[in-house]
Amino acid sequence: MKRRTTNEQPLKAVIDDWLSEHPMANKAKETRVTHLWGALLGPAVKNRTKSIYFKNGRLSVKLDSSVLRNELSFARESIIENINKELGETVVTELVLN
């Protein structure tokens, strides 16, 4: 008797495969990065954030507090690491705080 083969895959793998071939893949990454900003840094930072823009590995964040901007500039590398770790790949290469 022949064994039956299946092509079952986890849903995440199917979605990731589809996104990698779809033109909207970059837009999906941009959206995930901007949502992670508030989720990883908390409500205090999220409430002080005026705008977020992500394009070609560069995350630009405009803050309404110079003190917060200064504090976050010291943690720039760890913020990039944490976002990329959460995404499971290197997506953010530069963080610009305005």
Q: What is the pLDDT of residue 70?
A: 95
The model carries a pTM of: 0.73
Token representation of residue 92: 């953010």
Domain boundaries, the chain: 25-97
Q: What is the pLDDT of residue 5?
A: 66
Does residue 10 sit in helix, strand or coil? Answer: coil
pLDDT higher than threshold 90 for residue 1: no
Find out whether 80 and 40 touch, Cβ atoms under 8 Å: no
Q: What is the pLDDT of residue 72?
A: 94
Task: Name the more confident of 6 and 70.
Answer: 70
pLDDT higher than threshold 70 for residue 74: yes
Task: Name the more confident of 26 and 57.
Answer: 57
